[in-house]
Amino acid sequence: MHPLIERVTGALGLSPEIAEQAVGLILKFVREQGPDGPAASLLGAIPGAEGLIGSAGEEAAESGGGGLMGGLMGAVSAFTGGSGGGALELGQKLMGLDLNMDQARGVADETLSYAREQAGDGVVDQVIEGIPGLKHLL
pLDDT in tens, 120-133: 999 999 999 999 87
Is 65 a member of any domain? yes
Instruction: Look at 63 and 22; give whichever has higher pLDDT.
Output: 22
Q: How many domains does the chain have?
A: 1
Q: Would residue 14 count as lying in a domain?
A: yes
Mean of per-residue pLDDT scores for the chain: 84
Mean pLDDT of the 33-38 span: 96
Spatial neighbors of 90 by CB under 8 A, at least 6 apart, are 25, 26, 29
Q: Tell me whether residue 137 is in a domain.
A: no
Rounded distance, CA 51 to CA 122, Å? 24
Range of lowest pLDDT (33-37, 38-42, 60-64, 99-103): 60-64
- At 138 the pLDDT is 66
Whole-prediction pTM: 0.81
pLDDT surpasses 60 at 21: yes
Residue 136 within a domain: no
Q: Please compute the mean of the pLDDT values over residues 94-111 and round it to a whole number.
A: 94
Domain containing 122 equals 3-131
24 found inside a domain? yes
Give the model confidence (pLDDT) of 42-92 as tens digits: 999 999 999 999 998 754 444 444 444 444 444 444 443 444 568 888 888
**Distance between CA atoms of residues 136 and 82, nearest Å:** 13
Q: Per the domain annotation, does 138 fall within a domain? A: no
- Confidence (pLDDT) at 135: 77
Phi, psi of 84 (to 5 degrees): 80, 15
pLDDT, position 137: 67
Per-residue model confidence (pLDDT) at position 3: 97
